[in-house]
Structure formats: C-alpha cells, structure tokens
Amino acid sequence: MSGSTRKLPTRAPGAGPIDVGLLLEGTYPYVSGGVSSWVHEIVSGLPELTFGAIFLGASPETYGEIRYELPPNLVHVETHYLMARSKPAAVTLQAPRSRDATPREPGRSAMAEMVRLHEAFRARGGPLDPKVLDAAGALGTPSGISLAEFQSSDEIWARLCAEYDAHCDSSSFLDYFWTVRTMHKPLFTLAALARRAPEFRVLHAVSTGYAGFLGALLQRQRGCPFVVTEHGIYTKERKIDLARAAWIKDQAAADGGGLGQELGYLRRLWIGFFEGLGRAAYATARPIISLYEGNRERQVEDGAARERTRVIPNGIDVARFARLRDARPAHPPPVLGLVGRIVPIKDIKTFIRAMRTVVAAIPEAQGWIVGPDDEDPRYAEECRALARSLGLEGAVRFMGFRPADEVLSSLGLAVLTSISEALPLFVLEAFAAGVPVVATDVGSCRALIEGADDVDRARGAAGAIAPFAAPEALARAAIDLLRDPARWQRASAAGAARVEALYTREGMFNQYRAVYGTALEEAHGRDRLRAS
C-alpha cells in the first residue's frame, strides 16, 4: 500500500464485475495535477458507472497521502510499486521457483517466445502482433520464465553478455546489467497483476507505458474492450526525463571517459523499451484517444492504426470559473501565475528568469508559482536558489498547491513554460476565468491561444505564444499584454468565448459516455456469446 493512512475501497471477491477499470501510472489518486484532476472529473461526472483503479507507482517513498476525496462510484483501488526495493505488504507477488536449489534453465519454447517478444519490441515503427504478448503474460508461471530464472539462468546470462559485447564494449557492464534488470523486473509484476486483477467489463489506461502494457496483457488474456487515452505522448515525455538524467550524470562525472557513449546506448535501450510498451497498447486498444490532432498524428507515427485513433479534447466546468470574470478589473493586475507541479518538464526556471525582465520593466510585478514541490525536491530547491540568486525573493513566490480558482481571480496573466504539454487544463481554466495566457509553443497551446481553424481564429487571440526555454521572449510577450489594457481585455474575451464553445466538461463527459457505452455493449455481447 501507499504511505496514506486512508482506507482504500476494495471490491469483495464475487461481488460482480466493475464497469470500467482505470489503469493509472504515477497519477491519481496520489498526485495532484492535470491528469489526476481529469481522472477525478471523469469518475465523478459519470456516476451511473462503477470504476475501479489499479495504481502503478515507482516506489512507496515517492508518494504520500491520497490527494482527492474518492467518489462513491470508485468502488475499488489497489496500489502497486514496480521499482520497490523490497516487497510492499499489500503486494503478495512471489516468482515461482523450482524445487531444486538452483533455478532450472528456461524451457526452449518459453525462451523462444521471449526472444520473439524482444524482437517485436526492437522492430520500431510498425504494428505489433498481439500474439507476442502471450510470452509476457506467462512470466512467473510454469509455462513461462520465472524471475529466479531470469536472474540466474546461464542461457539468459549468455544472451546478456552477447548484447553487451555487441553494443557496449567500451562502457560499464554494471550499468548495463542493472539497466536490463531494472527494465525487465516490472514485467514480472505486471504479468502477476494481470492474472489476479478484478473483473472489469472495460479497461481504460490513461497512458501507454507500464499502465498501457498492463491493459494490453489483460485485453489479450480476457478479451475485454480496452481504451487508451494519452494526455501527453508517453515515449516523448520519457525521452525528456532520460535526457535530463543523462545531463545530470554528465555534470557529475569528473572526466566523462566513455560515459557519453554508454549513456547514449542505455538511453536508446530505455526509449526502445518504452516504445515497445506503447506499441503493445496500440495493438490491443480501440479507440486510442488523444487530446488534439498533433498528438493523434504522433500516435500513428508510433504504430497506432489511424482508424483506431480519435480526438477528445479536455473539458472543464466553465461555470465554476466564469463567476470570477465579474470581478475582473479594467486594468490587468501585474501578477503572473504559473500553476503546475515544480518539475523539470514544466521548466519553472524559465518562468523565474523571465520574471527578472518583467520586474525590471514593471517593478511592482509578482510571479506566483502555485503547485506541489514534493515530486522532485532537488529541482524545487534549484528553483528557489535561482530566484534568490537573481534577487527575486520578494517578487517570486512559491505558494504550494492551491485550487486554480483560488488563484486565478488575482492574476493578470496565466503563464505556462512547459517543454512538453498536450492540452493543459490550466490554460482552459484561465480562459474561463477571463485571464489571458502566455504559453510556450508546445502541444496544442498555439491552437488554444490563437485558434485551431478559421472559425476559431475569428474569436481572436487569447494571449501570446513564446518559444520554449526563451525567458526574454516570454517576458516581452507578458510585458506587452500587461501594458496594453485594451489588448488584454480583448484577449480575455477571446479566451472565454473559445472555452465556452469548444472545451466544456459536459461535452467531454458526453463523448466518454459514448466511448464507454460502445465498449460496454461489446462486453455484454461477448458475455452473451460465452453464456450461450
């Protein structure tokens, strides 16, 4: 279980199937933010359905208390950690061992199937044959390969060494060895979870990655409908994470002898692995949902069949934020707010550097950073140190997590500096509250601010776009808006009109209600065939 002391709802065995099984990686209910808020909205907004959730996290120490009041129709939640150093009490997964003191060598058929799975993962870009998932589903069973065999088999050791000799002869064998072990061990956990997961009529993974792979295993074994929604493209975000990890390791290395080549290959190994997980989800899911057309095209490039893909944009409770518009002043308050997690992908440092230029032009300006700082404490401290070094202690405020509607009423501009986004909820919330937005040119931000087509563009610009990692350009865009009340008012009106026309919560609910309805009809039809 997690570090939370709150009791999680648990579906009793034999209580009947759950309508929708949510497969969640590193999000709800332990992490606040865009994706988690979206999950909470979907569950709360469709009370006619029962939901269950399987949460996959890295390790117990990464997560704290549950961040949400769980809706009553969320009838089952279980928590599992894929990178835990020791087995959590709530996860009783034990790899089978042979009766001999020494683990047996894997059977020829099991080994051949695992080799086939690896080859399928390496064949990037094309469709993945769902049959190869049978090898992953058999991990930890007598017909497959056990964890003990994976860790001790002479044959697997020989294959590992051959791969190292072919690709990493000038780099650290230890780093390569532990990378491969770390990469594969979660697959044994996922295979065991798939065998004992509750009965779900429909599966819904809110990412590819490990959650999507668990969905692929369950769909392959049980035949139930499987839906994938990607808010951001998982493989793209993991590439960003790996690039940052490589940079940190390079900075820490005194001489770097051979390190760049080693990290380059290991990064490619991880990226290929994550791409393989994604292709497994794409091969078994229908529909494959993204938030905007750009990400839909990326899914197709990464192996999703175009006819299985569709776009359902985020939606928000417009009325909740629209009431804030009545209190908007005629002149924009010189307060710039960034609402989001303090993590590298949000590029908080660019916001801080931009504030130095903003304060130089508008001395009374303030920059509010509103979001949790416990996900990456090292980065959060780097951000605080940067603000101090730039002399911005009084102008830049770290305010911790707060609901967006408690903050937006005080802002003159909402700012987003992310280096990767899809369709950020905070931008929609700012629009609904009448707050113009200055955002980096990532994901759907340009379409949100400037309009997605001719009809939408006619509503006007709801703020300004700046390049990512360009604090001076970001600052100039913000200063220009704050110094031009008429333009600021036009931007405020444009954002409100856009969100009311295209991004309502009711519209999103109706589309997902239809997706689940189609999947549930398919599930009921399958059940009738089995009963006949």
- pLDDT tens across 404-438, in order? 889 999 999 999 999 988 899 899 999 999 999 99
Strand 200-205: give its sheet, edge to edge.
74-81, 51-57, 18-25, 200-205, 226-230, 288-290, 309-311
Same domain, 120 and 256: yes
pLDDT at 262: 47
Q: Which of 311, 343, 372 is the last residue of a domain?
A: 311
pLDDT at 1: 40
* Lowest-confidence region among 237-251, 326-340, 405-419, 477-491: 237-251
- From first CA to last CA, the distance across the chain in angstroms is 40
For the whole model, what pTM was predicted?
A: 0.83
Place 102 in a pLDDT band, splitting at 50, 70 and 90: low
Same domain, 458 and 341: yes
Same domain, 226 and 113: yes
Q: Which of 251, 284, 311 is the last residue of a domain?
A: 311
Place 3 in a pLDDT band, splitting at 50, 70 and 90: very low
Residue 434 lies in a domain: yes
Residue 241 confidence (pLDDT) above 90: no
- pLDDT, one tens digit per residue, over 182-226 is 989 999 999 999 999 999 999 999 999 999 999 999 999 999 999
Cα 144 to chain centroid, rounded: 31
Same domain, 304 and 371: no
Residue 2 lies in a domain: no
Residue 93 confidence (pLDDT) above 90: no
CA distances 25 to 107, 214, 234, Å, are: 33, 10, 11
Residue 515 confidence (pLDDT) above 90: yes
- pLDDT, one tens digit per residue, over 107-166 is 778 888 888 888 888 777 667 888 899 999 999 999 999 999 998 888 889 988 988 888
pLDDT at 236: 67
Per the structure block, which two tokens stand in for 119? 């080859």
pLDDT at 225: 98
Number of separate domains in the chain:
2
Residue 6 lies in a domain: no
- pLDDT, one tens digit per residue, over 338-379 is 999 999 999 999 999 999 999 999 999 999 999 999 889 999
Residue 51 lies in a domain: yes
Tally Cβ neighbours within 10 Å of residue 30.
Answer: 21
Place 5 in a pLDDT band, splitting at 50, 70 and 90: low
pLDDT at 239: 63
Residue 254 confidence (pLDDT) above 70: no
Q: Which of 282, 311, 340 is the last residue of a domain?
A: 311
Same domain, 292 and 344: no
Strands (E) located in 3-128:
18-25, 51-57, 74-81
* Lowest-confidence region among 17-26, 418-427, 456-465, 503-512: 418-427
Place 245 in a pLDDT band, splitting at 50, 70 and 90: low
Q: Which residues of 333-360 are buried (b: 16+ CB within 10 A; e: fewer)?
A: bbbbbbbbbbbbbbbbbbbbbbbbbbbe
CATH number of domain containing 172? 3.40.50
pLDDT at 252: 44
Same domain, 91 and 180: yes
Residue 532 lies in a domain: no
- pLDDT, one tens digit per residue, over 160-193 is 898 888 887 666 888 888 888 898 999 999 999 9
- Gap between the Cα atoms of 122 and 124, Å rounded: 6
Same domain, 216 and 352: no
Region of residue 16 (left: phi > 0; alpha: psi -120 to 50; beta: else): left
What is the 3-state composition of the chain as percent helix, strand, coil, each rounded to the nearest 5?
A: 50, 15, 35
Residue 362 lies in a domain: yes
Place 393 in a pLDDT band, splitting at 50, 70 and 90: very high
Same domain, 262 and 335: no
Place 73 in a pLDDT band, splitting at 50, 70 and 90: very high
Same domain, 428 and 444: yes
Same domain, 287 and 371: no
Residue 528 lies in a domain: no
- Enter the DSSP assignment of 333: -
* Domain region containing 408: 318-503
CATH number of domain containing 497? 3.40.50.2000
Residue 4 lies in a domain: no
Same domain, 268 and 337: no
Give the list of residues 6+ apart from residue 110 with CB closer than 8 angstroms, or none: 135, 138, 143, 144, 145
Per the structure block, which two tokens stand in for 112? 């051949």
Same domain, 409 and 293: no
Residue 71 confidence (pLDDT) above 90: yes
pLDDT at 405: 87
pLDDT at 329: 81
